[in-house]
Amino acid sequence: MSELLQVTNITAGYGDGPAILDGAHLTVEPGKVHCIIGPNGAGKSTLMKAICGMLTIRKGDVIFKGKRLNGMRPDQILREGICFVPQERALFPKMTVRENLRMGGFILNDQKELERRIDGILERFPILRERADQHAGTMSGGQQQTLAMARTLIIKPAIVMLDEPSLGLAPKVIQEMFDIMKMMSAEGVTVLLVEQNALMGLKNSDWGVVLDLGRTLFEGPAEMILSDPRIQELYLGGKKAA
């Protein structure tokens, strides 16, 4: 048992609305890529928001490295080392690429160190270096997603949560996003991914989680989930349920 993040039976929802999550659990192991799949409205994004502190957790626990994260603010959770890239609009469109990266290290106090890390990121992503002084909003979808993912590396997080990084991107570009994700994983960053395209997501992951109706139905190695007939039928576009 060497879990990095343990989510047990949480209940959460927006405002005083109904509970979107009700009995979701999740185990995250260090260094692996985890993929959460499930139908629309299952609570996938909600689960990520609950983990990173954007939603109040009504019941259950989020334990990270043995520490309880419930009730902490997003900035505090970020300082613990969990970074969340929300769907689509994660950037500051009227800031330059460099300014966006600088915002990525907002919680760092050492400005010199921050500039060093920004240069390091620009070094590793030539596409961003070329556009360092361009407004982020003027870049293509793939470039923007690259920036959003690269930006998380500034603070050297333990876990990066990505909410549908492939959304609205061309198939060829999607593969690039998964490549960046694998690279992050190879560097020891643990990745938690929400993917609408369940098949593609699972194929690029080590561990799979099936979320439906606000609770976790299955959790297991990705290849095991891929080969389970019930899951194929319900979530992977296999033969329709009767």
Among positions 10, 52, 122, 181, the unique one binding another protein when judged by CB under 8 A: 52
Whether 196 contacts 164, CB under 8 Å = yes
Minimum CB distance to another protein, residue 174 (Å)? 22
**Binding to another protein by residue 83, rule CB under 8 A?**
yes
Q: Closest distance between another protein and the C-beta of residue 172, in Å?
A: 26
Pick from 64, 84, 125, 178 the residue near another protein by CB under 8 A.
84
Pick the closest to residue 217 from 24, 47, 8, 10 (CA basis): 24
Min CB(73)–another protein separation in Å:
7
Does 191 bind another protein (CB under 8 A)? Our answer is no
For 129, list phi and psi in degrees, rounded to 5. -65, -40
Within 8 A by CB and 6+ apart from 179, the residues are: none
Torsion of CA 239, 46, 153, 105, to 10 degrees: 160
- List phi, psi (to 5°) of 158: -80, -40
Token digits of residue 188: 């020891």
Does residue 218 belong to the site contacting another protein (CB under 8 A)?
yes
Residue among 126, 164, 120 nearest 143 (CA): 126
Cβ atoms of residues 173 and 179 within 8 Å: no
Does 75 participate in binding another protein (rule CB under 8 A)? yes
Of 24, 90, 150, 158, which one interacts with another protein (CB under 8 A)?
A: 90
Indicate the helix (H) or strand (E) that contains 218: strand 215-221
When binding is defined by CB under 8 A, the residue of 7, 78, 121, 184 that contacts another protein is 78
CA distances from 57 to 44, 97, 145 (A): 15, 34, 28
Residue closer to another protein, measured from CB, 93 or 168: 93
Q: Based on the shown chain and the rule CB under 8 A, indicate whether residue 230 belongs to the binding site for another protein.
A: yes
**Rounded least distance, CB 217 to another protein, Å:** 6
| Paired tokens of 154 | 């500034």
Task: Name which position in 60, 104, 157, 165 contacts another protein (CB under 8 A).
Answer: 104
Residue 122 or 225: which CB sits closer to another protein?
225
Binding residues (CB under 8 A) for another protein: these are 1, 15, 18, 25, 27, 29, 52, 54, 73-75, 78-79, 83-86, 89-95, 99, 102-104, 106-107, 151, 212-214, 216-221, 224, 228, 230, 233-234, 241-242
